[in-house]
Structure 1
Amino acid sequence: MPQKILIMEDDAALSEWLSYELAADYEVTTAADGLTGLTRAQSGNRPDLMILDVMMPGLTGFEVAKKLKTNPQTADIPIIFLTARTTLNDKLTGFESGGLEYLTKPIKSKELLARVEAILRYTELNRRRGQAEVETEMHQAADIQRRLMPRETPRLSGLDLHASYKPASRIGGDFYDFMIRPDQQLVFVAADVTGKGLPAALVMASTLTALWGAAHYKPSPQAALERVNTDLYDKLTDVRKMVTTFIGFYNPETHQVTYANAGHAPIIFCPADGQARLLEADGPPLGALPTILSQNHHLMLAEGDVLLIGSDGLSEAENRAGEMFGYERLLEAVTTLADRTAPEIAAGLFEQMTAFAAGHKQSDDQTLIVLKGTPHE
């Protein structure tokens, strides 16, 4: 596809000649006044390079260039000034306005083509260099995020524990982690930041830090969530983010799980002798309100019982027809898989979702924590 050049020149004969010289290699459009040229440059058909006369009806070439450079959508369009104004002050003004070249009339065809080709090549090299730098930074951010995730799950008597994480993009907004409190209770957290990519990952890191500080000394999951929401509410609203968060405390002596849930789903409990069921959240995500509504809840994780904490990427996994995996399939799958070990339950669930998707790429992160009660060692 040829690169696009926009010529802004009020001399019709010169504009026609420039178009003729460039049309063999480029897609050329023209504008006879500054305002028309500016409007076309800011439209959806953005040019790859602009050739501007200085003295034109309406806006001058210098004024057009300044407006383009102050607009983030057009600031990187390379500009060549082509004008009869030849004073040093004019040239300095052209460069200060954002021009990469300042050519004077009349100009020969070979020089015009050489300057245009050189600037487009220079711009393309800079674009590729910028993309490479962004790619490097994204790799580094993804590596940092992986390091924030636990490398292994804690081992506790009476508990089979497993976690899995499959980001939809290189940098995701889901996270999970584990911690042992001073009273020897296991803390397990799963959360999902709205959005994806680097912004979500940055919010994730801040939330994770706040959660661990609160979970270490607050007496209950609800109190920990309240502390984190108080600390982060203003920051979350400033960046227009919310964080669905599930936090649980597992007592290895009593097998009791105490948890609080701020908008996170799905949470599934499957007793050893029954059917899997959903445990609904009773409060909105962190950042939605100045105070949380979530309360503490309790359940016993007896031998054979399964507690599954997932992200919405599980229930919202789609196939090629746009049909979602949904809660019904999740509950059926957990019930069927509940007699297996925690790692096998996770693997079996992902296997069923993969078969359902039939190669369709998923648009959301998929995070899963599985806790299963086992006999005391």
Structure 2
Amino acid sequence: MPGEFGYLLVVHHHFEIYDSLRAHLESSGYTMICIPEAQQALSMLRKQPSDLVLIALDLPDMRGSDLLTAIKSDPDLHAIPVMMITEHSNSPHLEECLSLGAYDHIHPSMSPMLQQARIRMCLQYGLMHNPTRVNPEKEVLLIKIEHDLQIGQDIQSDFLPRDLPDFPTWQIADFYKPAREVGGDLYDVFTTMHDQYICLIIGDVCDKGVGAALFMALFRSLFRAAAQQQIPASPDQPPYPGDQESQVLYDTFNLVNNYVIDNHGDKGYFATLFFGILNPSDGSLFYVNGGHVPALIVGDQGIKHRLTPTGPAVGIIPNTTFDIQRIQLDPGDILFTYTDGVTDARNPERRLFGEQRLIEMLHTGVSAADLVTQISTQLALHIGNAEQYDDITMLVVEHMAPGSLTHVMPR
């Protein structure tokens, strides 16, 4: 008999991994069964469809992606949600499975709480997309999950900036659309150093779903607190040579990077992140790019500069060096930062939006807000009725040219 929270089919040939999952999932109200081979799993599913299938990336008789494809192409099975069981979060095979329709993944080193949160979200997805499978007991579960997700969305929205700093001759525009109920992209805009400087942050936590959302909140909070309070990376470290902006960036990146590794390194989460400190009085921008897609400075002739990575992603290498760079934003220039969900957006034929198409849309002569609107509109048209593959985030800063109209940006 299915358990209170659902019937889970685990397709994995390492039974010790199945036992580690069963130890906490069955006690939480799930019924589980393990099948070691893909063909056996397909036969069982056709006899007794499960509420959720968890598949290993590699099986004795076929790849996990092949089993996933077989399920999604079967008219009687395609609505069953699928998750992958992995050893880590950055496998190319996992990315392939996510693009083929897997909802999410778990791995044995995850905390039981995080595993259960992901499974519950995946079950909710299955119930919402196949309402004929909802019985009264599962309807109660669905209502509870929807309530929890709404709380999660509300909490995460509190980590996004509500009001953007307002400085003469500058305009800042933003766009954020998570691929799921909660997302792993982060961005923030706030002032520091007696409100005379603007901090600009955009980043992408590896992975998707609940785990990425939790670490998004962690990274955002750590970076904001360290930069605003100007917390030194170490009490006895000598001052960093250079400007005050460089000192703040040096301390902030070293503090956050080492904290995440020391306290959460076993979870395997990291973030690519661009962090700039802008002096609005003279247009100077000090920045660190920790493994993130290059930020772009757009002038009247097109792309003037690509702000490529100056260090690795945050949360991978302890005590690493993040180089600090300085560049100038002249009147009329636009700083365009984004996450790879923009260029990786897929249409129903699975074609990417692409970097070239994005670059062709980047030009001056429009406000930052109008530029964000134009790009987000084209992204929506490109994606159409396809499922959004990744979180989409943009953060754009315009140094308005003398004599230009003051732009009023809707939020």
Determine whether 1:365 maps to 2:377: no
Give the AA of the match of 1:129: V
| Cα contact 2:180–2:209 (8 A) shared by 1 | yes
Separation of aligned partners in 1, 2:2 and 2:174: 50
Determine whether 1:258 maps to 2:269: no
Separation of aligned partners in 1, 2:9 and 2:333: 61
| Cα contact 2:296–2:303 (8 A) shared by 1 | no
- The match for 1:327 is 355
| Cα contact 2:289–2:307 (8 A) shared by 1 | no
Listed as ranges, the gaps of 5+ residues in structure 1 are 6-40, 45-65, 79-122
| Cα contact 1:286–1:292 (8 A) shared by 2 | no
| Cα contact 1:160–1:371 (8 A) shared by 2 | yes
Q: How far 1:223 moved relative to its partner? A: 3.1
Q: Deviations over 1:280-309 (max 9, x none)?
A: 113221111113343111111111101111
TM-score, structure 2 as length reference: 0.61
CA 1:69–1:341 in 2, change beyond 3 Å: closer, same or farther? Answer: closer
- The match for 1:286 is 314
| Cα contact 1:281–1:294 (8 A) shared by 2 | no
- The match for 1:187 is 199
Separation of aligned partners in 1, 2:349 and 2:205: 27
- The match for 2:30 is 76
Q: Residue 250 of structure 1 aligns to a residue in which SS? A: strand
Q: Residue 148 of structure 1 aligns to a residue in which SS? A: coil
Determine whether 1:295 maps to 2:307: no
Q: Residue 315 of structure 1 aligns to a residue in which SS? A: coil
Q: How far 1:269 moved relative to its partner? A: 1.3
1:151 to 157, 162, 185: 162
2:368 to 333, 338, 342: 342
Q: How far 1:127 moved relative to its partner? A: 3.4
Residues 52-67 of structure 1 mapped to structure 2, 5 A cutoff: none
Q: How far 1:320 moved relative to its partner? A: 2.0
Residues 72-151 of structure 1 mapped to structure 2, 5 A cutoff: 72=25, 76-77=30-31, 125-151=136-162
Give the AA of the match of 1:288: I
Determine whether 1:352 maps to 2:305: no
- The match for 1:47 is none
Q: Which has the larger radius of gyration?
A: 1
CA 1:310–1:128 in 2, change beyond 3 Å: closer, same or farther? Answer: same
Q: How far 1:67 moved relative to its partner? A: 12
Q: How far 1:263 moved relative to its partner? A: 1.2
TM-score, structure 1 as length reference: 0.66
Give the AA of the match of 1:256: S
Give the AA of the match of 2:324: N
Residues 201-216 of structure 1 mapped to structure 2, 5 A cutoff: 201-216=213-228
Determine whether 1:232 maps to 2:260: yes
CA 1:69–1:245 in 2, change beyond 3 Å: closer, same or farther? Answer: closer
Q: How far 1:375 moved relative to its partner? A: 4.3
Q: How far 1:4 moved relative to its partner? A: 8.5
Q: Residue 275 of structure 1 aligns to a residue in which SS? A: strand
Q: How far 1:152 moved relative to its partner? A: 2.3
CA 1:320–1:159 in 2, change beyond 3 Å: closer, same or farther? Answer: same
Give the AA of the match of 2:397: L
Give the AA of the match of 1:307: L
Q: Residue 190 of structure 1 aligns to a residue in which SS? A: strand
Give the AA of the match of 2:315: G
Separation of aligned partners in 2, 1:314 and 1:364: 8
Separation of aligned partners in 2, 1:257 and 1:288: 26
- The match for 1:118 is none
Q: How far 1:138 moved relative to its partner? A: 0.9
- The match for 2:210 is 198
| Cα contact 1:174–1:204 (8 A) shared by 2 | yes
Separation of aligned partners in 2, 1:69 and 1:258: 50
| Cα contact 1:220–1:296 (8 A) shared by 2 | no
Listed as ranges, the gaps of 5+ residues in structure 2 are 12-18, 33-133, 232-246, 407-411
Q: Residue 355 of structure 1 aligns to a residue in which SS? A: helix
Give the AA of the match of 1:208: R
Residues 241-252 of structure 1 mapped to structure 2, 5 A cutoff: 241-252=269-280
Give aligned pairs, total.
Answer: 273
CA 1:191–1:43 in 2, change beyond 3 Å: closer, same or farther? Answer: closer
Separation of aligned partners in 2, 1:143 and 1:69: 31
Q: How far 1:233 moved relative to its partner? A: 1.3
- The match for 1:160 is 171
Q: How far 1:235 moved relative to its partner? A: 3.2
| Cα contact 2:310–2:324 (8 A) shared by 1 | no
